[in-house]
Amino acid sequence: MEPAPEEDTSNHDSTGGRGMSLINAMYYVFKPFLPQGVRYTMRRLRANYKLQTARDWPIMLSAGRTPEGWPGWPEGKKFAVVLTHDVEGPTGLDRCQQLAELEARHGFRSSFNFIPEGGYRVTKEFRQSLEDQGFEVGVHDLRHDGSLYQSRKSFDACAVRINDYLRDWNATGFRAGFMFHNLEWLKTLDIEYDASTFDTDPFEPQPDGAGTIFPFRVTDPDPRRSYIELPYTLPQDATLYLILREKTNEVWKKKTDWLVEQQGMVLLNVHPDYLAFDGRKPEISEFDAALYEDFLIHLKTRFQDQYWNPLPREMSRFIAASSD
- Give the per-residue pLDDT at 207: 94
Q: What confidence score (pLDDT) does residue 32 get?
A: 64
Q: Which residues of 12-43 are buried (b: 16+ CB within 10 A; e: fewer)?
A: beebbbebbeeebeebbeeeeeeeeeebbeeb
Which residues are CB-contacts of 41 (< 8 A; sequence separation ≥ 6)? none
**What pLDDT digit, counting tens, does each position of 266-298 carry?**
999 999 999 999 999 999 999 999 999 999 999
CATH 3.20.20.70 describes domain 22-55+78-323:
no
What's the confidence (pLDDT) of residue 6? 35
pLDDT at 55: 86
For residue 323, pLDDT beyond 90: no
Over residues 37-54, mean pLDDT? 73
Query: What per-residue confidence (pLDDT) applies to 68?
Result: 95
Whether residue 12 has pLDDT greater than 50: no
**Mean pLDDT of all residues in 140-163:** 97
Q: To the nearest whole percent, how much of the chain has pLDDT over 70?
A: 88
Task: Average the pLDDT over 119-141 and give the result.
Answer: 98
Instruction: Compute how many other C-beta atoms are within 10 angstroms of the C-beta atom of residue 275.
Output: 25
Q: Which residue has the higher pLDDT, 24 or 83?
A: 83
pLDDT of res. 51: 76
Question: Is residue 149 pLDDT above 60, yes or no?
Answer: yes
Strands 287-288, 275-276: parallel, antiparallel or unpaired by DSSP?
parallel
Please state the rounded mean pLDDT for residues 90-117: 98
Separation of alpha carbons 232 and 249, rounded Å:
16
The pLDDT of residue 3 is above 50: no
Q: What are 184-235's pLDDT values in tens digits?
A: 999 999 999 999 999 999 999 999 999 999 999 999 999 999 999 999 999 9
- Cβ atoms of 271 and 314 closer than 8 Å: no
Distance CA(315)–CA(162), nearest Å, equals 22
Share of the chain above pLDDT 90, in %: 82
pLDDT the model gives residue 312: 99
Query: What are the residue boundaries of the structural domains of the chain, listed by start?
Result: 22-55+78-323
Angle at 38 between CA 37 and CA 44, to 5 degrees: 90
pLDDT band with cut points at 50, 70 and 90 for residue 80: very high
The amino acid occupying position 203 is F
